[in-house]
Structure 1
């Protein structure tokens, strides 16, 4: 009986057995191929090459969700995807001169934000690459921290790779721009912000560049993506000036800065600022981080762009000095990342605001137009710089103040009597059409423009909400009331409290 049943279902049994045997053969050869294939390691925490669907072929860039902020980590994964996609095309074995960079040859010093390349006793921590179409001959700039502030620098070339091409353009170093003066301080082994410029021979924009030393055909050990700039805009004299702000890394691990940030950001919005660009080093209290995320593109209107950052070296030793010189790197990165989006960019701290004086020109664009109209001896100005004046917390709010407690700047309207010397602690609005190198307080280099202009306090000033450098100024000359900010008081309180409600803060006390 059993025999007859087996004969009845033998066709089905044979089919099932055959499929099972084919499945075992496929599994065996698939595993054998993986075990014997070339293994690819990655220093990144979640290597993109482990996801077959993410591999990019034919040098096409990885497409990210438009709502997702592009972080250095995602940019590194995008870079890996690009390199491995072109490696699949055989580019890495390409011509005898300058083979296409391989991801395995890149060195990330325990940090996805920098790539390390070395020559003799110099270390180059490469941070970014940018395309500058402003000069008569377009340039590519490589921004790095280099372990010398006086040179000499080795013979340097840039291998420029273009989309879809397997042969690079080789370009010799045009100029080294150090964003630091040795007189400000130097220490052995410390790395300094440096901008390496290369002139582009063709009219095209490279997709990828590699820095090499000595032999221009050397095997590259680094690869930097170049953000593709927008198409040039036709002249539009009637368009309002666009202004933005560059801020250094945010370091407030022990104090909740939420209320201060809301007041500061909403004030900048009223002043005509379109975007604030800052760096997140994971040194914020949870509520501060939540507050700032409210302003980012993913959760808000995009007034704030936060970019993750990690120092290239341990900051415990030489901590203060290392952090100061790293600020300069970030200001230049911010400037070149936003080069085509704004007409003027300010470099400021979060306890500062460039404040127009008087009511005739209440916003930055209006004030800049007035400054340009007054600047009759100069067809183009690199920067407009504003004198520093302190609004210290040691000078209490006026007794008649009815401003709610969360509004620090609106409550502190008493300042020291005198502005600082125009050569000290100024902050500037930098013309993106002409500035080429920045420091914290002023432009170090510019092209085809007059130098920085000292703005007289009757038109604008840098209001600095911190302690004074000289305690005598708290008494002599007698401090004075300065209510320039109060013309924004009603709208600023209204806008800020609306944000407080959205964040779920209690309002009974207000």
Structure 2
């Protein structure tokens, strides 16, 4: 009887013993080695091929806990550690490959480098193939907006090379005017441009000061652009949006966010880039997660944290960092869009007349622009739709913009609070209201009011304009009413918000 029971369990027992034997054998012998790579190192030096194993971190200032690291930093450490045992990474030649231990992470998003009395908080590096000779643009915050700047070089490492190419600083550009405010010790949004000798794209760059052979104290992975496409003259214009950091810690803006995002989609935005500083109401986070999901994909929400060591002047600092992020958004999206709008979530660049979206409006503006072969952008005058003015009670209460179709009578002047659609083929430095720099193009053009305006859904700066001159009804947005409500309600149903019931 016992023998028969053992026969019944013979096959499972043999399977279990076989698995245990294989596990024991694997632990004794270790993983198989590549006979052409006895150290079992990745044959191609790139971040995806290198593991992310960490070593203990003894310096709490320059080393950060893994949970707080952005994905780019994880890739950077993998890349540097994967190459640290190579001879060319630590030889005496000019210049040594950067070592991860020499980097100082001021927080998960900035590397801190100091020279003389200046601090550089480096944020990103981007490849710009628009000039005849392409450039690398290094973006960060530098604690001066008047200079002078030290002698600066960029050490550039190309995948597969054992020595860097080194190029001097070509130009320093600021996304700020000193006349707007200048405070000692505060970091200003700065773009450092370096010219390349070829069209190859570096994998890694380091900023060094003084000697071009200096040991690097920073290392930035270069944002890799998509492959260059052949010109497509008849392709519809592609439009996207850049939004500053989102901050809704206490209020729930979900309904307004849904209405705004769905309207942006209808106006032609194929992607919106915004920044998450960790101050979002839980409902707002859930709403935005819907739009960042693979099923939707309208929104790219990038994690961000302010530089901690730039203390004081909080409101002033936020304006400076905001300008830096607009330029990060620009250079990440140079080749994905023909035009980029820089707007807040309470603003709408509204086409007027017979135009229902930005691509059609832009095509018309370009066709009328006979005095300029290339225009750096088109700017729209601001007009307020404040909540203090009467709202339409017949529209469901979940739709703030559709309910507010009464505005102040007059638009602001063209040089006050305007917003633009920027031509990504030409703009080089952005501010939130206009471009500060462009190449090979005419200056931005003001759009006539009969073709478009910036509708701003916030309080007015001059309360007397709520009465004098008398406000007027402007229901241009109502053209989108049925579709906007239908699309928004579908999202409310998916999220379970009250508007759906």
> What is the correspondence of 1:152-163 to structure 2 with a 5 Å cutoff?
152-163=148-159
**What is aligned with 1:6?**
none
2:280 to 256, 281, 284: 284
SS at 2:70 equivalent: helix
Query: Could you tell me how far 1:62 is from its partner in structure 2?
Result: 1.5
SS at 1:99 equivalent: coil
**What is aligned with 1:317?**
312
Query: Could you tell me how far 1:426 is from its partner in structure 2?
Result: 0.4
> What is the correspondence of 1:388-403 to structure 2 with a 5 Å cutoff?
388-398=382-392, 401-403=393-395
Query: Could you tell me how far 1:314 is from its partner in structure 2?
Result: 5.7
- 1:392–1:294 Cα change, 3 Å: same
Conserved 8 A contact 2:346-2:457 = yes
- 1:169–1:484 Cα change, 3 Å: same
**What is aligned with 1:108?**
105
Can you list the C-alpha shifts for 1:87-144, whole angstroms capped at 9, x where unaligned? 13333213521100000000001x1100011101000000000000001110000001
**What is aligned with 1:336?**
331
**What is aligned with 1:151?**
147
1:327 to 314, 322, 329: 322
SS at 2:286 equivalent: helix
SS at 2:492 equivalent: helix
**What is aligned with 2:21?**
none
> What is the correspondence of 1:95-494 to structure 2 with a 5 Å cutoff?
95-109=92-106, 111-298=107-294, 300-313=295-308, 317-358=312-353, 360-398=354-392, 401-494=393-486
Alignment partners' CA distance in 2, 1:81 and 1:477 = 63
SS at 2:83 equivalent: helix
Alignment partners' CA distance in 2, 1:438 and 1:230 = 22
> What is the correspondence of 1:61-80 to structure 2 with a 5 Å cutoff?
61-62=47-48, 73-80=70-77
* CA RMSD of superposed structures (Å): 2.0
TM-score, length basis structure 2: 0.87
Matched, 1:87 2:84: yes
Alignment partners' CA distance in 1, 2:92 and 2:347 = 54
Can you list the C-alpha shifts for 1:176-233, whole angstroms capped at 9, x where unaligned? 0011111100111000000000000122111100000000000001000012211211
Conserved 8 A contact 1:315-1:323 = no
**What is aligned with 2:59?**
none
1:60 to 18, 23, 46: 46
Alignment partners' CA distance in 2, 1:101 and 1:306 = 30
TM-score, length basis structure 1: 0.85
Residue segments in structure 1 that go unaligned for 5+ positions in a row: 1-22, 31-51, 65-70
- 1:120–1:316 Cα change, 3 Å: closer
Instruction: Give the aligned length.
Output: 450
Residue segments in structure 2 that go unaligned for 5+ positions in a row: 1-23, 31-38, 51-67
Conserved 8 A contact 2:489-2:500 = no
Conserved 8 A contact 1:106-1:223 = yes
Can you list the C-alpha shifts for 1:379-409, whole angstroms capped at 9, x where unaligned? 11001000000000000214xx421111000
Query: Could you tell me how far 1:502 is from its partner in structure 2?
Result: 0.3
Alignment partners' CA distance in 1, 2:475 and 2:308 = 44
Query: Could you tell me how far 1:507 is from its partner in structure 2?
Result: 4.6
Alignment partners' CA distance in 1, 2:282 and 2:465 = 37
Alignment partners' CA distance in 1, 2:69 and 2:391 = 43
